[in-house]
Amino acid sequence: MSFASLIFLYFFLPAVLAGYYILPRRWRNPFLLAANLVFYGWGEPWFLPVILLTALVNWLIGRRMAACTVRRARRRWLIAALALDLGLLVAFKYTGFVLQNLGLEGLLPGAIPLPLGISFYTFQVVSYVLDVYRHAVPAEDSPVRFAAYMTFFPQLIAGPIVRYGELRGQLTGREETWNKLANGFCLLLCGLGKKMLLANPMGALWNGLRALPDGTGVLGAWAGAAAFTLQIYFDFSGYSDMARGLGRLFGFELPVNFRYPYAAHSIREFWRRWHITLSRWFRDYVYFPLGGSRRGMARTVRNLLIVWALTGLWHGAAWNYVLWGLYYFVLLTAERLLGEARLARLPYALRRVLTLALVAFGWVLFGIEDPGALGAYIASLFSPAGGLISREAAVWVLSYLPLLLAGAVLSQPVSVRLRRRWGRTAALRWGVPAGSLALLVLCTAALAAQSYNPFLYFRF
């Protein structure tokens, strides 16, 4: 089930909210667990046993680790949990990729279906068993609370990746208030607006430009890259906003996953602002255990290579994702070697433009899986042979130009500045609910009319 659907907005969500608030507090976690499973199993009920098995085994192993006083025994339980969790992820997501590259794809009768959100909930449960092993958090006593944490439907499919320690207290002692409800609805509708009114049109522009038989020209190719850059931001940050808004409707505070990444003035800062919970996961569970930057530049470069190769692979079982991860490894290593002080001497505006151009080029690597098509598109970005812009590409770009400009503005922290300047005025206080209602009407109309409505990160 998708958040951006009429069934979810007008049937599932109202029914779950009504049941949640009618029930006594002690029944709310079991009710949420049931709602989580209905949400997850709506389109793919055959994968429910996989996620339930993962939850049960990791809860049991967490309990066993907590009861062990011998470090060696605790390590054996940890290895067992990691073998199960990462083994399921590899089996479902990478088996076909490995066999294809070995020339053994004939061993599989067909493509292996990928459970929704397996990359996200696997990383979430791996963080739990590692934190229990390290004594960073206690093991959860209740299987219901643990399963409710692992399958929490607002962030189950595409994050943010929430650690058990962040929700532990909220699972037992959260407070639902009218203020949270109001803020949750506003955030939910803001995210839905990002998705329906900006991400989807930008995706249509990106796909339209790529499909032109006679090419786009240099400006047309960069316009396509800009469109995909905006699509993936508004798509994923919109989902994260909806997840956080839905969490507040049930009294939960989920971590922020985006902080205006296209306002960054370096690649390092970009990754402090983009998909924050994933960056933090790799930092704490891969980069730091490898030694981080504490053992000299050679070890630091090695650790960065491992982290970014894994980051690319996490996003997808295709070589373009590996290339995308290695691309960021090269950029981040170059920034580290140059040093922040040297980079800071460049004009601020130049750093902003250069960072955004490098990020947009990276999204081209990310967005095109076919090697031949990827090579042709990269060539069109830099080759003058196709001209400045083709007639067909110009028609596409001019048709979407107002939305391109709106997306470029709204990807910057404009709303933050407005809240700081006018946050206490009556006009803004009344404008928020009025704007939310307008978003609901516009998004409902878009949902009823649009056939193109993907969530890009669902496939990861």
Residue-wise pLDDT for 407-426, tens only, equals: 999 999 876 666 666 655 55
Classify residue 12: in a domain, yes or no: yes
User: Do 197 and 269 share a domain, yes or no?
Assistant: yes
Residue 25 to residue 253: CA distance in whole angstroms: 18
Q: Please report which confidence band the pLDDT of residue 303 belongs to, taking 50, 70 and 90 as the band edges.
A: very high
The residue among 141, 174, 207 that closes a domain is 174
Please give the residue range of the domain that contains residue 275. Answer: 180-459
Q: What DSSP character marks residue 116? A: T
pLDDT digits (tens, 9 = 90+) for 324-368: 999 999 999 999 988 878 888 889 999 999 999 999 999 999 999
Q: Is the pLDDT of residue 427 over 60?
A: no
Examine the domain organization and report whether 425 and 380 are in the same domain: yes
Confidence at residue 151, expressed as pLDDT on a 0 to 100 scale: 94
Q: What are the residue numbers of the active site?
A: 315
pLDDT at 386 over 80: no
pLDDT at 293: 84
Note whether residue 309 is domain-resident: yes
Same domain, 212 and 342: yes
Tokens of 166: 């962040």
Q: How far apart are CA 64 and CA 73, in angstroms?
A: 9
> Domain for residue 236, yes or no?
yes
In a shared domain, residues 166 and 298: no
340 and 229 inside one domain: yes
If asked whether residues 123 and 57 sit together in one domain, one would say yes
> Quick one: 298 and 443 in the same domain?
yes
Q: Does some domain include residue 410? A: yes
- Which range, of 119-123, 401-405, 415-419, averages the lowest pLDDT? 415-419
Question: Is position 347 within any domain?
Answer: yes
Same domain for 158 and 116? yes
Q: Same domain, yes or no, for 40 and 151? A: yes
Is the pTM here over 0.85, yes or no? yes
Q: Which of 128, 144, 174 is the last residue of a domain?
A: 174
Same structural domain, 159 and 185 = no
Residues 244, 124: one domain? no
Q: Are 43 and 111 in contact (CB under 8 A)?
A: no
Number of domains in the chain: 2
Q: What is the C-alpha to C-alpha distance for residues 115 and 108, in angstroms, rounded to an integer?
A: 18
Q: Which of residues 159, 174, 189 is at a domain's end?
A: 174
Residue pair 222/202 in contact by the 8 Å Cβ criterion: no
1 assigned to some structural domain: no
Q: Please say whether the beta carbons of 445 and 9 come within 8 A.
A: no
Mean pLDDT computed over every residue of the chain = 90
342 assigned to some structural domain: yes
Longest C-alpha distance within the chain, in Å?
A: 72
Same domain, 168 and 184: no
Helices of type H across 68-113: 71-93, 95-101
Report yes or no on 93 lying in a domain.
yes
